[in-house]
Amino acid sequence: MYDAVNQNSYKESIRTQRVLITGGASGIGAAITKKFILSGARVAIVDIDARAIDTKAGILSSAEIILLGDVSDPSSMDEVFGELDRCFGGIDVVINNAGISIPASLADTSLEVWNRVLSVNLTGMFLVSQRAAARMLNQEDGVIINIGSVSGMVGMPHYLSYNVSKAGVIELTKTLAIELSPTVRVNAICPGYILTPMQEKEYTQDELNNLANKIPAKRLGRPEEIASLAAYLASDSARFITGALIVIDGGETAGGLASF
Ligand code: NAD
């Protein structure tokens, strides 16, 4: 039983966890992977990028299970969970982090792009959550953390498929939180701009500087800041938190026009 007064309980509860991180080879996923490994958890990562997985060195290479897989492919996810069953005998925490962004105006959004973004960012979370929840309900405990985005909460031109996928993540989180309560906790982290390869691919350094200037915190977020929040949400200290959307954006979405 978790003892709120005992300061060691937070670390103890992470140490015993078996954790799956999707998209764990880069950016936010890699920071989350590091955080859990350093906390003593047993960590599995799955990623679609074979090259990124191959070049993983240092702390990331000490993840116990490192798999090549596509979250949007049901048979690939069956294999991943089969491996988790074999090696871990179950799963305590799933971080649904894998995601892609393909910016395009409405006119330029092909059906192929629309389907791909939704299938990775939203269908992937459904497929992973379904397989994780079956195991968590069976073992009578578990935590699912979905990486959403503030982009699922406000409109932003040229990111239709991405924004719609992230809005879907919010509803997936709330519905599963209720359906799986009280056994499995389901929460979403909604980051603002976090400096990762995804952002470095989409923006020039000048654009990133301009963005940082508009954010009340005057900087972009760091992947490690998302990792700390994920570790907290996975711990017993967060046992009363479920169905929550936690925005971590340096104040970006706090104001609106009224704040100028
Ligand atoms: P990233 O591109 O650095 O990392 C994403 C990882 O997911 C990569 O390793 C990639 O290979 C993997 N991936 C992509 N498609 C996959 C698939 N089908 N199956 C398995 N793995 C797959 O991006 P990031 O910035 O670290 O983003 C991580 C998550 O955070 C995403 O869901 C993204 O939408 C979300 N997010 C990022 C930001 C940001 O500013 N960086 C803001 C809000 C939300």
The verdict on the CB of residue 100 being under 6 Å from ligand 1 is yes
Antiparallel, parallel or unpaired: β 42-47 and 65-68: parallel
Using only the alpha carbons of the chain, give its radius of gyration: 18
Return the ligand 1 atom nearest residue 29 CA. 26
Angstrom distance (rounded) from CA 81 to CA 73: 13
The pLDDT of residue 11 is 54
How many angstroms separate the alpha carbon of residue 62 from the centre of ligand 1?
21
Angstrom distance (rounded) from CA 63 to CA 257: 45
* Candidate list 162, 193, 203, 232, residue with the active-site label: 162
8: helix, strand or coil: coil
How many angstroms separate the alpha carbon of residue 226 from the centre of ligand 1?
13
Q: Ligand 1, atom 32: nearest CA belongs to which residue?
A: 99
Return the ligand 1 atom nearest residue 26 CA. 9
Q: What is the pLDDT along the chain (260 residues), one digit of tens a residue?
A: 344 445 455 555 665 899 999 999 999 999 999 999 999 999 999 999 998 888 777 788 889 999 999 999 999 999 999 999 999 999 999 999 999 999 999 999 999 999 999 999 999 999 999 999 999 999 999 999 999 999 999 999 999 999 999 999 999 999 999 999 999 999 999 999 999 999 999 999 999 999 999 999 999 999 999 999 999 999 999 999 999 999 999 999 999 877 76
- Helices (H) and strands (E) counted in the chain, each on its own, are 10, 7
Q: Residue 96 belongs to what H/E stretch? A: strand 93-96
Angstrom distance (rounded) from CA 23 to CA 248: 19
Write phi, then psi, for 191 (nearest 5 degrees): -75, 155
Beta strands in 151-199 (DSSP E): 184-191
Global confidence as pTM: 0.95
How many angstroms separate the alpha carbon of residue 23 from the centre of ligand 1?
6
